[in-house]
Structure 1
Amino acid sequence: MKYQQINKSLFETNRAKFTTKMKPHSLAVFNSNDIYPISADSTMPFEQHRDIFYLSGVDQEESILVLFPDCPKEKHREILFLKETNDHIAVWEGEKLTKEKAFETSGIKTVYWLQDLGKIMFEIMTQCDTVYINTNEHYRANVETETREDRFTKWLKNKYPAHAVAKSNPILQRLRSVKEPIEIDLIQKACDITEKGFRRILEFVKPGVWEYEIEAEFIHEFLRNRSKKFAYTPIVASGNNANVLHYVENNQQCKSGDLILLDVGAEYANYSSDMTRTIPVSGRFSERQKAVYNAVLKVKNEATKMLVPGTDWAQYHVEVGKLMTSELLNLKLLDKADVQNEDKEWPAYKKYFMHGTSHHMGLDTHDYGILTEPMQANMVFTVEPGIYIPDEGFGIRLEDDVVIQKSGEPNNLMKDIPIEVDEIESIMNG
């Protein structure tokens, strides 16, 4: 791993929070992700399942975590099953977790090799009444591939059909959405790496550069600061490309007078950052570009103030819509008739700002969180309004990552990343 080892107290705390929510005489099982094939002997880079990482810190394939807080045998209340490492694996792939290293990583004392899974599972399944299975119920999930977790669940339910089944996901949705201090520090680290990348870009961009060259500058800076990759597929959208919300081709030349929308974030230790900035190719905004930019910035700043404990996510978006409507009227993009005659299901402002303003962020860029429940302190949200004007050849979005505080305005983890027009122009022309 490129990242520095995380204090195992985080994972011990996370497990303790989870097990207190479990039913009596129940156990829960969590699997690593598969390594997915491409073709021949090629595979996609391994990405750990965020739930087993959240609860154990284990960041390798073919790992299983079992939690059984009421187990009569104390040593079986927390168990890791790992792929057995050996000298051959150490030479060809690098050493996998040893039992000792697994304890240092997770704080779990009982570690078995996977070859013992069937025997140990039989013993503990005879001692429990309910088994928690882990399903993906994220509101944006659209999974067509059968996962390792899916296959394990099939095997478990087939072998032990008389057990009651419960879901881990509702517990994890709530737990993962409220961050521990160590987690906030890790997200801050990801944001700090993103800042380094953005500052590098401000000195690199000029008319004639290509979008993919900008992408390359970002990943160069990310890798040299212990990030293994982009937190999500980067958007480097110059000119009218910015009006395609998920533009990821990044293959066009940046022309003088155009703007570039940069939706780019580094990961660190599997935690995400999520930044958007919009900058002028030539180093200066036109007056019209500046007016729209400052309107988006004003909405972002005012929307941020609303992210406080108790806020309802759906109502928050209604209020942000009112802010955006006011700015669009000022910019003469809407008139009063547009607003008076609007469809309440798709308000007039949606013509120019058609996506949501905020989402949970953490181990996943669109992190777990139950959107029908009020916001709480130590949740991390993005704030990302935008105005998109295809007829004028540009789109502007600005995005920061903020932590909700017990009182007062959120803590902006990206407060040091340049965002004001004057600061951006100064750095680009420095």
Structure 2
Amino acid sequence: MEYVESIAKKAKKAAPTIARTTLEKRNDALLLLAEALQAKKEYLLDENLQDVTAAKRKGTAQPLIDRLLLTEERIDDMAEGMRQLVALADPINQVLETKERPNGLLIEKRAVPFGVFGMIYEARPNVTVDACALAIKTGNGVVLRGSGSAMHSNKAIVSVLKEALSQTSIHTDIIQLIENPSREEANRLMKLKGDIDVLIPRGGASLIQTVVNEATIPVIETGVGNCHVYLSNAANVDLATAIVVNAKTQRPSVCNACETLIVERSFAEQHLHTLVETLRQKGVQLVGDKTAQALHTQIGVATEEDWQKEYLDLFLAVRCVDGIEEAVAHIEKYGTNHSEAIVTEDEKERDFFFQAVDAAVLYHNASTRFTDGFEFGFGAEIGISTQKLHARGPMGLHALTTYKYTVKGTGQIK
């Protein structure tokens, strides 16, 4: 039996045991795991430092190092995410719908776990924690395949979580980490039909498309974030400035950061120069179309690639348009169906934007940085789905469940 297959079968065998575990026991386990993360903080930071040091030696770009980095605050946030999950209702063993037929049959639609889900992801050790926490709350097993760049961090996190889980009645085999990050093992994981019920890739465009194209098991596509903020002529200047600066600079290495700023022409003529100065003070480098370049000498020339690019860094493309319809057309052409924002005081413009733009999350007068399971009150997050079937947007508990029908009769025959 191949290495990855043996790991998946362990998770598959253990999954039914947690699916039958009570909510109280699952919640108690999450609280114990949250405590363990914080108690072993120094160990986790030491192991993470090995990954970060190796990445720096290789000349890894700073945004990728930021994704890889663990800090005391980030570990505390991961633990808090687990505690938030405890406060949420049980996502399984719930009756979603009830219908009584004329013949007396009582049909109930019940939420149930998937069984085992797989994760293929890059860098981000926090994904390891989120996936394990969501697996426990939803009664699933999980098979994790992180990148080699985060292997010390992932192994340390999984060891801490499994050690804590061993103190509960939940089988530790529900959490499985593939410690061989080779492409061959990843390919085997993508084809484990019957052992893995659904596969979730999380990372850059290349990784996601590889999984979507090569997997023979169902995939939930998490998306690249080429996110836009559109500033209408009717935008409040102070509000617009605060939102753009936050969406671009608060944490540029994440998928919900703004990558392209679209500005209505009159607003740009009055305010773009000052806004650019504010962004440049934050270290942002800008490229733009001819109108934007004419309004500030430090805006470089935007290429076709710039409109399509997820920078994940302190770079921003600027496009000037004649109105909301042109802005929507730009988003339709270059957007990735992730998160899009409009800043305007005109409610009709807001409503048109909400109706016309096709994306998982749309914002009015707010930063795109809120597209996040934690911010949506989901506790932990498994990713941001940009597809339309099964799950869309920040994926929390319910994205890791399916349903079955139970039918109660009194002797009915057909």
Structure with greater helix percent:
2
TM-score where L is the length of structure 1: 0.29
Using the size of structure 2 for normalisation, the TM-score is 0.30
